[in-house]
């Protein structure tokens, strides 16, 4: 199924679907079953004394990890009686800081399995935090949770490890020692997975359904994914009247759509959407950037009710000048028709903060009165004139010097905000000296909002009048992207023939659409500024204002591509 959104992809030869795009069967999934022995029940007050782990794939043991660990404290007598591990046994044992690197390497990217997983994972996470190691965030499976789905009360009245071992007749008997318990847990795991296969739990992506079961009426809707291609792109859930309910992107459309009905979706709005959904449409895309751009365009076009990002673009905040002889700064919702425009801003509050910073620094008037060209007879200025913070065109007219303030503000908004920063720096210091931290923070936030807004504005404007083709390595292939005037004109993913793909996209520049959404331009600029991007063709001048962008964007010549495109782009 496809959508009626215009296809921006240029179909090129060389696209190849990888094995990772069709899901990972459980028989090829690597599991690491871990068990810990500790000095107590809480990672905040207790420590690990032993780690045992078994690595399996396809039901076969491919590795084991076992070590005693010096906890740095005496083991309570009750724990000694339970595990048989004594202080004397741990005298020569390594500390957990010494053990963690080896264990994390053994774990790799496997699925982490444990019986009562919160206990074991909690101790491991705590140890990583204490010793400066980043927890890898592996997918976790708790065999207690699986047992509740795979066993009956008759065969396993409780879900203790020893009870499950007897129920499944494991070859290893649990004995409160880490490696033996891990071996027993591994056997139990594979017995339960065999049982659960009859319920459609056959791929790694299905494991979440065991932790967060879905209602039967929603699980039945998983059949929607049967005809969905296992390729990257955009998916659209439709309602009973054909209305578009939700738009999203994925590198594997089939797996992602199926996951909505098998992974126990907990967000109430999405649950509501799934109950309404009667079908799903897909739009296959050549590259991840194309998928994100198509998603943005579809959300803007159809305004699906369940997309949080479907906020109307007309609500986006910009900063501009009013159209009058003595203009003032204002927040506007239109990206055109206002002088000195800057944006998009991150909200009306940030827009007002940036405006106040410019007003305070450069003397732009704050009053909302529409002034006459020639001041009225008897007009009086406000206190800001006496404080030197406004040129007061309300009383001095064209001779007030207000035009210079407007020009300085325009230059700061459209170019370099340094004059505003420099002007406010001393004021902020003065507020701090007087312990008026609230006023100092207000000015600081205004400067931050101004710099952020001007940077975003300049980045979006940087691609105006520019046409280019760029290449970036992605997995085993290459993403080729064509951009015209800030619009994604085409893209392709190729494993070879990079030069031909670039040339073909360049030849199709004339077919590009005339305009793009702000969010689309931001996606494109971020992609171009990311590490590894190579420019192949360009017409016009593009200079990204982002810090460090020049270090990331490189040129690739035709000769380089002709000689050895793949090897050159790998560097």
Question: What mean pLDDT, rounded, does the chain reach?
Answer: 81
Nearest residue to 140 (alpha-carbon basis) of 173, 165, 107: 107
Rounded distance between C-alpha atoms, residue 89 and residue 93, angstroms:
8
Nearest residue to 251 (alpha-carbon basis) of 289, 217, 277: 289
Is a pLDDT exceeding 50 seen at residue 21? Answer: no
Is a pLDDT exceeding 60 seen at residue 566? Answer: no
Rounded distance between C-alpha atoms, residue 83 and residue 566, angstroms:
57
- Please tell me which residue, 28 or 347, carries the higher pLDDT value: 28
Nearest residue to 13 (alpha-carbon basis) of 417, 495, 507: 495
State percent of the chain over pLDDT 90. 30
- Please tell me which residue, 511 or 57, carries the higher pLDDT value: 57
Is a pLDDT exceeding 70 seen at residue 464? Answer: yes
Residues 211 and 199 sit within 8 Å (Cβ to Cβ): no
H or E stretch covering 35: strand 30-38
Per residue in 290-300, is it b (16+ CB within 10 Å) or e — as a string? bbbbbbbbbbb
Rounded distance between C-alpha atoms, residue 272 and residue 213, angstroms:
16
pLDDT attached to residue 3: 43
pLDDT attached to residue 390: 75
Nearest residue to 467 (alpha-carbon basis) of 480, 481, 485, 448: 485
Domains and CATH numbers, the chain: 26-202 (3.30.420.10), 214-311 (3.40.1440.10), 318-461 (no CATH), 467-570 (no CATH)
74-85 pLDDT, tens digit each: 999 999 999 999
- Please tell me which residue, 184 or 464, carries the higher pLDDT value: 184
Instruction: Over range 118-122, report the average pLDDT.
Output: 95
527-562 pLDDT, tens digit each: 888 888 888 888 877 665 553 443 344 455 444 444
Please calculate the CA angle 6-296-545 and round it to the nearest 5 degrees.
Answer: 115
Q: What's the length of the chain?
A: 571
pTM for this entry: 0.59
pLDDT attached to residue 22: 43
Is a pLDDT exceeding 90 seen at residue 400? Answer: no
Instruction: Over range 492-505, report the average pLDDT.
Output: 87
Rounded alpha-carbon distances, angstroms, from residue 121 to 131, 325, 397 = 16, 67, 72
- Please tell me which residue, 460 or 264, carries the higher pLDDT value: 460
Tokens 């203009």 -> residue: 327
Residue 176 catalytic? yes
Active-site option among 176, 190, 552, 568: 176
Tokens 């997975």 -> residue: 193
H or E stretch covering 36: strand 30-38
Ranges 252-266, 329-343, 419-433, most confident: 419-433
């Amino acid at each position: 199924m496809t959508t009626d959104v215009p296809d921006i992809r240029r179909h090129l030869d060389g696209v190849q679907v990888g094995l990772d795009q069709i899901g990972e069967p459980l028989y090829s999934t690597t599991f690491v079953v871990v068990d810990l022995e500790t000095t107590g029940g809480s990672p905040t007050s207790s420590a690990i004394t032993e780690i045992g782990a078994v690595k399996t794939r396809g039901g076969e043991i491919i590795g084991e990890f076992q070590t005693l660990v010096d906890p740095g404290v005496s083991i309570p007598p009750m724990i000694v009686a339970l595990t048989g591990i004594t202080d004397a046994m741990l005298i020569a044992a390594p500390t957990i800081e010494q053990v963690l690197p080896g264990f994390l390497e053994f774990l790799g990217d496997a699925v982490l399995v444990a019986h009562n997983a919160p206990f074991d994972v909690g101790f491991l996470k705590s140890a990583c935090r204490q010793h400066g190691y980043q927890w890898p965030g592996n997918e976790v499976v708790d065999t207690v949770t699986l047992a509740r789905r795979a066993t009956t009360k008759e065969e396993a009245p409780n879900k203790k490890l020893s009870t499950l071992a007897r129920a499944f007749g494991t070859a290893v008997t649990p004995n409160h020692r880490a490696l033996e318990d891990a071996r027993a847990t591994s056997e139990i795991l594979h017995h339960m997975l065999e049982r659960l296969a009859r319920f459609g739990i056959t791929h790694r992506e299905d494991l979440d359904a065991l932790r967060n079961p879905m209602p039967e009426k929603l699980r039945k809707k998983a059949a929607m994914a049967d005809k969905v291609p296992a390729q990257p792109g955009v998916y659209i859930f439709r309602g009973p009247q054909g209305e578009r309910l939700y738009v999203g992107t994925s590198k594997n459309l089939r797996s992602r759509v199926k996951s909505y009905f098998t992974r126990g979706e907990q967000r109430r709005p999405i649950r509501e959407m799934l109950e309404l959904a009667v079908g799903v449409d897909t739009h296959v895309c050549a590259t991840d950037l194309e998928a994100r751009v198509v998603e943005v365009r579809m959300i803007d076009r159809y305004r699906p009710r369940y997309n949080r990002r479907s906020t109307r673009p007309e609500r986006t905040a910009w900063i501009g000048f009013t159209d009058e002889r003595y203009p003032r700064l204002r927040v506007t919702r239109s990206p055109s028709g206002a002088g000195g425009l800057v944006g998009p801003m991150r909200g009306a509050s940030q827009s007002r903060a940036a405006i106040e910073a410019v007003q305070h620094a450069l003397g732009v008037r704050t009053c909302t009165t529409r002034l006459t060209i020639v001041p009225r007879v008897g007009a009086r200025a406000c206190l800001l004139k006496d404080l030197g913070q406004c040129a007061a065109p309300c009383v001095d007219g064209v001779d007030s010097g207000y035009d210079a303030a407007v020009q300085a503000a325009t230059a700061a908004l459209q170019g370099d905000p340094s004059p505003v920063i420099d002007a406010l720096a001393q004021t902020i210091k003065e507020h701090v000296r007087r312990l008026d931290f609230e006023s100092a923070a207000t000015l600081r936030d205004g400067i931050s909002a101004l710099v952020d807004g001007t940077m975003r504005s300049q980045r979006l404007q940087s691609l105006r009048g520019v046409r280019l083709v760029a290449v970036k390595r992605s997995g085993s292939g290459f993403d080729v992207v064509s951009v015209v005037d800030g619009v994604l004109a085409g893209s392709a993913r190729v494993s070879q023939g990079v030069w031909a793909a670039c040339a073909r996209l360049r030849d199709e520049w004339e077919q590009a659409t005339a305009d793009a959404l702000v969010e689309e331009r931001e996606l494109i600029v971020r992609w171009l500024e990311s590490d590894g991007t190579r420019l192949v063709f360009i017409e016009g001048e593009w200079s990204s204002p982002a810090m460090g962008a020049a270090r990331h964007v490189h040129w690739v010549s035709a000769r380089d591509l002709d000689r050895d495109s793949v090897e050159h782009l790998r560097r």
